Chains A and B, each alone.
Chain A
Amino acid sequence: MLKRRALFVAVPVALGLLGAGCAAPSAPGTGDPRSMLLADGYEPESLNPLLGYGVEGAAKFYDGLLAFDGQSALRPALAGEAPQSTPDAKTWTVKLRDGVRFHDGTPFDAEDVVATYQAAINPAYASTVSSDFDMLADVRSLDPHTVRFDLKIPYAAWPSKLMLGIMPNEQLAEPKSQESSPPNTKPVGTGPYKLVEWRQGDQMTWEANPGYWAGAPAVGKVTVVFAKDDNTRAQRLVSGEFDGTVLPPVLAESVGRDGYRTVHHRTADFRSIALPNRHPVAGDRAVRLALNLAVNREGMIQALLGGHGKPAYAPIPESMGANFEPTARFDFDPERAKKLLDEAGWRVGGDGIRERGGVRAQFTVMYFADDSLRKDLARAFASDAKAVGIQVELAGVDRSAVPDRLATDGIVLGGGNPIDPDPQVYTSLHSSVIGTGTYNNPGQYRNAEVDAALDGGRQEVDQAKRAEFYKQAQRAYVADPGLVYLAFIDHSYVMRDGKWSGYQPPVEPHVHGTTWGPWWNVEAWKPQA
């Protein structure tokens, strides 16, 4: 009997616990301007640069030798000055900044740079960014404040590889896999912020690094809350909880009011349809050209992105300034597409789908099933293709299913980096990368003119001459397109208005979230008087 009574006593206690603090939630986001509260839909899997953390820069806990200036140039960070190269672009020397310390107080010098880059290319560390540094043969310290990189090939884009966060060499003394190494959850860098706490799946708190070499950040505490669901984040923002978050464009527009503003940043983040070039239909030159004329890029951007994007015809965005070739474009001209297909012998059959020599104009396009924008783009592409008599079947797939199907099916791809044209274009279009990796030129596009221009761009250190090579590559590509580039999508954010100054809209890479977006340079923000 006694035991049963215990059950009845326990229950009111539990209810009392629930009653505790049932007050209305305060809105902490409106308070002290020295602390900031952001919400992110994406939680990093690790905070280790060797596993890809902050690989596009803006790594917060870390500095690279160089940092992105938010537009299109690189500026010195842990490097004291711009890197110097030999005329053949094969050897690069970098002078390092003096007097910098890591968060744990150890001094930063050439040994740390050497250790970090060695770990990136040494298989023993199982780094996931190793392929980014394929061209690196060796790195050595010439003195405590100078490092020299020796490359396997002439590579003019090497400065774009100097964004990698530098780790203390003490952490890399032992050559072992990074699958559970301490920096994954407890980063030690030289960056403007230190990690205070990371409750995985919930939130992360950063604190300003008072000894930061560029001056201690004025926003002394940043908390990032992780909430995967877009609608949840939007709802919580409306209740005044957050100082900012990342949202899809249309949703962002709808909540960016009452003290919040919505911003849309330009990017180098493309979405394209890679076509299997050895497929009897999708590999046909006339079909590929016709598809590029048949897709209504502006219509897709209006309907799917609320107008927040730029049409893409080739892999280089307008934001890359001098490297962008404005004449490399396709008009939306379905009539001309039909005419091209007629001339190439693709005749419309009874059901409106074309045929040639018994081959039906039909192929499959895959998209990652968990990405709704890619699904929508694939659908729009299929309907535009159908309008000119080409049937596109769609297949939502998981990432693991892709490698085996790339030779026969198309796929919706995304990616991009505004810092240098080479990393993005070379692996997308150059014939020499075919077969070296799943997503390296997956459609097996081959074009000798494009190859030559891209190789020229790698070897030319003079910026103006280098840009000319990339313009040439774009012109050669649109004459014989191997994919259908659709759009460079804007990244949309909602941020609290009037609390801080220092916002400078950046041009963004493929990655986005609260380390990027308006907060890419949060260390330079000041409370508004």
Chain B
Amino acid sequence: MATTPTVDTDGETEEISVTEALREAMHEEMARDEDVFLQGIDVADRGGSFSVSEGLLDEFGPTRVRDTPISESAIVGTGLGAAAAGMRPVVEIMYSDFMGVAFDQIMNQVALMRYMFGGKLDIPLTIRTVDGGGFSAAAQHSKTLHSLAMHLSGIRVVAVSTPYDAKGLLKSAIRHDDPVFFFEHANVFNKKGEVPVEEYTVPLGEAAVLEEGEDVTVVATQAMLYEAMDAMEQLEGDVDVELISPRTLDPLDIDTIAASVDKTGRAVVVDETPLMAGAQGEIAAQINEEAFWRLDAPVERVGVPNVPIPFSPPLEQEVIPHSGDIVTAIRNTL
């Protein structure tokens, strides 16, 4: 099977990384709409910690590509205010762990402003941030926190795995009139895949069925998609897996997932958030609601056990899920 999920497109494609895909999305949207601007720590001169915004400063100048002080509340809060005043800001929180510093702005302001004010204003704000562990950065730089964002009504949540989705969904997020929390995963930045050369977008709220199968539905997010593909390879000829990438987590495309479970009768949900109140639990609960009578086995969840991410490699490898854990979970459903 393919190492990266393939794209259905008639036109010409190019092979690029997730980083390049995000960068292209930023370039295209900033060129298309001059209300779009970017701010965050070291996003201009340096092009961001993960090089996503490289080249934007040269093309769009320092008014629209802004290095901020180390002030997360202000980074998010001024983004919110600018959005309320009609701009279309993209703000970057270097690691999702640091959203803790800005959490009032996120939880009590960004998420609530439109609703609390009677639905009378749009907040076209995109918050980009980085999730994920696996590089011995210890507990304050390795968390996966999109479940925290999913918990907040009023914010859309996106978490991508492939270059195709990264580009198409970031463009949609920027054009969207509601706040979108856009999670990039440290271990997918280098993943490569085919992306159309022509302009395209991927709509928010639609899952992708990446591989069709008959025996079990595996729903996998971010880097876990690649672990799931690994697991599929290990089970090839034995278990026929249907692989789904939800891409948008709020709203969740439960229809696509439930339709798959209707066919397979089994489901495994794989995600790097902690298992306690994690994204897996939400997806599993919705599968139960939508496809319970078609299930031949309880839905299995794979995620980080309820501990912080430790520094030392053997400890970190223990808590972050791997393909072996997914194989076990799949076998548990059979």
Same complex for A and B? Answer no
Q: Which residues of B contact A (CB under 8 A)?
A: none
